[in-house]
Amino acid sequence: SASDTVPRSSILRRIHRSDTLCGLLFSSHQDTRSHTKCLTRSKQRMGVNYGLNRVRFTSPVLVGSQLRARFAVESVTDVDNGGVQVEWNVTLERLGSERPVCVAEFITRHYF
């Protein structure tokens, strides 16, 4: 498709007609699977991105910025059907910026 041949930054620039990303669109484009690298998934049947709490966009993100996400486990709680709910503290940082661009609590569920 056409979107496969156009760099993502060009697509986002067309959508917004500016050089700053809308916060909700930015959060929808982040790789929320990054946190799974912190888990042992050998016997996991299913993982669910359950939601976000306390999302704060603290600094603008310009198209083409290099970002890094840091995940830290806040809590793990048992849930029905043999699963656990994990609450992660997530900090998104932009290269060259002293402030994070986004801080949030990310909730996932994992069933074994």
Residue 6 has pLDDT above 90, yes or no: no
* 40-53 per-position pLDDT tens digit: 555 788 888 888 89
The CATH class that applies to domain 2-111 reads alpha beta
- Per the CB < 8 A criterion, the answer to whether 39 and 112 are in contact is no
Q: Which two tokens stand for residue 95?
A: 């290269």
Q: Looking at residue 9, what is its pLDDT? A: 44
Report pLDDT for 34: 54
What six digits make up the tokens of 76? 């793990």
Tokens read off for 71: 């995940």
pLDDT(22) > 80:
no
* Closest alpha carbon to 56 in 5, 9, 103: 103
pTM of the entire structure? 0.64
